[in-house]
């Protein structure tokens, strides 16, 4: 899907060419540059500027300070700029700085600039229509009414419950919601708060859009797709606050901060290590006001925008997870039901015709599978059954070094293996 980059998205991200225009304390940038020089050895000013994602003009100001304080030595010239190395005094000071904080990556942006940018590219400001939803969910079999409800929830830019029985595709739906958005957002490498550096950009979460940025764009920001952060049973209250590393002495942003301007999926909600009511109480204000307060390692609290579409995917009824006060703050409650017979057959045929399967299935054998599941095993048609039952067939064929087949006998065998029902005599794959 193509990503649109509009002129507005470039707005006000012009590279600062003077230290006092970066929004960051001069001393912090000088310390960061000295640590980078110490760790990388001899560098040209252009290399140092690239490493710090700053303009050459800003780095030249830092260089003049280093010369004045005798923190560097000039080793020569290259490409019209100086090549420098940390002096003995510079190395000693850098080592002392690294013992206090080992961060030596790109320069951070200010909390003020970060908050302004998050509000400027809010997930609530995106215009969404039917044409945006259909490509995102084209590989799923969903009823038109469900697509309408999902579209309504996404347009709100707030939060939603996806609830219903296990195996009905709630996680698959939640993971595709970010694909609805066709625009891009700016993510900072790091944010400075009260002299603390908090890393935000995470290659495991943020999908970069390479190329196309104007030459004068502030490189402390990375152009990305709207984020998608997925968390499950590992979630605790601690992970929702700034993640301080006592070894490196700097911090990483929590999941919801990395997800700002995008989607945060809480999969299997209600089965986390933290009790649901504790998590709901933690976000009671944030979901209502779109503002959250985080805590620095020293205990100081600071405010950031909570511009996140939170998707609670659960097979627990919402009223069992929170009271009315909380449920009111999640305005979209979407039930995902079992598949109809027609939907199940369409899902099954999509699976058998997919490149990874390519299996011939007769209409009579498919009818038998549906009858066996619903009438003989007395189970509803979950969306996941098509894929899981076919997996049984292909795994058995692989084990037996046989060509995969699908017939009524094998359908019974696969179901008996998958549903833990009693295996029928004679229903086994043939070698």
- As a whole number of angstroms, the distance between CA 75 and CA 277 comes to 61
The better pLDDT of the pair 101, 326 is held by 101
Q: Quick one: how far is CA 76 from the chain centroid?
A: 44
- As a whole number of angstroms, the distance between CA 218 and CA 164 comes to 45
- As a whole number of angstroms, the distance between CA 259 and CA 118 comes to 11
pLDDT, tens digit, 9 for 90 and up, residues 51-86: 999 999 999 999 999 999 999 999 999 888 999 999
pLDDT, tens digit, 9 for 90 and up, residues 124-180: 999 998 888 989 999 999 999 999 999 999 999 899 999 999 899 999 999 899 899
The superfamily (CATH) of domain 112-335 is P-loop containing nucleotide triphosphate hydrolases (3.40.50.300)
Which residues, 6 or more positions from 122, have their beta carbon under 8 angstroms from its beta carbon?
157, 261, 305, 307
The better pLDDT of the pair 103, 323 is held by 103
Tell me which residue of 207, 166, 156, 171 sits closest to 331, measured CA to CA: 156
* CATH class of the 25-106 domain in this structure: mainly alpha
Please tell me if the domain spanning 25-106 has the same topology as the one spanning 112-335. Answer: no
Would you say residue 7 has pLDDT above 70?
no
The better pLDDT of the pair 272, 394 is held by 394
Q: What is the mean pLDDT of the chain?
A: 90
Identify the weakest region by mean pLDDT among 2-16, 150-164, 255-269: 2-16
- As a whole number of angstroms, the distance between CA 138 and CA 153 comes to 18
- What residue ranges do the domains of the chain occupy? 25-106, 112-335, 341-418
* pLDDT at position 80: 85
């Amino acid at each position: 899907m193509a990503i649109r980059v509009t002129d507005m998205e470039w707005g006000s991200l012009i590279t600062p060419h003077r230290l006092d225009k970066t929004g960051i304390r001069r001393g912090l940038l000088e310390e960061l540059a000295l640590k980078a020089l110490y760790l990388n050895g001899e560098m040209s000013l252009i290399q140092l500027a690239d490493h710090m994602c700053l303009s050459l003009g800003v780095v030249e100001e830092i260089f003049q300070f280093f010369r004045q304080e005798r923190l560097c030595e000039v080793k020569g010239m290259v490409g019209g700029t100086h090549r420098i190395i940390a002096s003995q005094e510079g190395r000693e000071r850098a080592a002392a700085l690294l013992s206090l904080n080992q961060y030596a990556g790109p320069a951070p942006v200010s909390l003020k600039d970060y908050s302004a940018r998050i509000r400027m590219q809010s997930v609530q400001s995106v215009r969404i229509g039917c044409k945006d939803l259909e490509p995102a969910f084209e590989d799923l079999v969903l009823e038109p009414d469900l697509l309408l409800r999902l579209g309504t929830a996404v347009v709100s830019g707030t939060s939603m419950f996806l609830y219903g029985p296990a195996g009905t595709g709630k996680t698959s739906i939640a993971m595709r919601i970010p694909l609805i958005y066709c625009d891009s957002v700016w993510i900072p490498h790091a944010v400075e708060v009260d002299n603390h550096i908090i890393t935000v950009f995470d290659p495991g979460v943020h999908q970069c859009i390479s190329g196309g940025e104007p030459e004068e764009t502030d490189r402390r920001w990375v152009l990305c797709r709207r984020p998608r952060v997925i968390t499950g049973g590992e979630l605790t209250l601690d992970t929702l606050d700034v993640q301080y590393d006592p070894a490196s002495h700097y911090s990483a942003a929590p999941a919801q901060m990395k997800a700002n301007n995008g989607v945060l999926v809480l999969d299997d909600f209600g089965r986390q290590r933290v009790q649901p009511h504790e998590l709901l109480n933690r976000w009671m204000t944030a979901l209502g006001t779109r503002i959250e307060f985080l805590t620095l390692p020293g205990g100081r609290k600071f405010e950031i925008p909570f511009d996140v579409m939170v998707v609670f995917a659960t097979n627990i009824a919402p009223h069992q997870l929170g009271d009315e006060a909380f449920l009111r703050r999640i305005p979209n409650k979407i039930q995902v039901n079992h598949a109809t017979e027609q939907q199940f057959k369409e899902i099954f045929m999509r699976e058998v015709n997919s490149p990874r399967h390519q299996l011939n299935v007769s209409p009579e054998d498919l009818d038998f599978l549906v009858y066996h599941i619903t009438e003989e095993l007395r189970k509803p048609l979950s969306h996941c059954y098509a894929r899981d039952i076919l997996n049984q067939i292909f795994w058995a064929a692989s084990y037996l070094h046989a060509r995969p087949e699908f017939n009524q006998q094998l359908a019974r065998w696969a179901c008996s293996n998958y549903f833990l029902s009693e295996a029928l005599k004679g229903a086994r794959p043939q070698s």
